[in-house]
Amino acid sequence: MSVRPITIVGHRALEQRTRRVREVTSDIRTLVADMFETNDAADGAGLAAPQVGSRWRLFIYSCADSAGTVQRGVVINPRLERFGGIELDEETIEGCLSVPGEGFPTARHRGARVTGIDLEGEQIVVEDEGGVLARALQHEVDHLDGSLYLDRLSPARRREALDAVTDRGWRAQGILTWDPRDLEAADV
């Protein structure tokens, strides 16, 4: 296992739709193990394959559900169902490892369910309503569809986020990745 660089807003990998995984190979297993290692190093709630430069349709998650229990897993070829009303709580800040150091209130459905397969090729269902996990499921599937949470913000807030990333020097000189092992330098 190894920690991989995380792509930053503006990186081409974050703007493309992902490809369906046809078979769980040793390369896919290595990618998933590396993604867990990377997410843990960055103290993230989840990580989608495009965030480490891969085009495969999969994500990992490691965050609390509505009961406060930390859930951890991988979903390959997820299909997302949203339910419950759309909520925008100014107190609930959503962040993203690809927009390091920033967070903004983001409208999301209260509940989410993803269906897909695990590393053994078995069907799985992951569901939550009202917890961080519900938000993370929606957030990670957005990544797989080539979208960032910034796309859900008002134009003014989106500009604020992009300006902050630029001000931090994240996109200076064409550098569009960061190493989560260097969190102090990342100022995340």
Residues that constitute the known binding site: 96, 139, 143
Q: Is 23 one of the annotated active-site residues of the chain?
A: no
Catalytic annotation, pick one of 90, 91, 120, 140: 140
For 118-171, the DSSP string reads -TTS-EEEEEEESSHHHHHHHHHHHHHTT--GGGGS-HHHHHHHHHHHHHTTTT
Q: Which residues are annotated as a binding site for Fe cation?
A: 96, 139, 143
Q: Which residues of 12-34 are buried (b: 16+ CB within 10 A; e: fewer)?
A: ebbeeebeebeebeeebeebbeb
Number of helices (H), then strands (E), belonging to the chain: the values are 4, 9
Active-site amino acid positions: 140
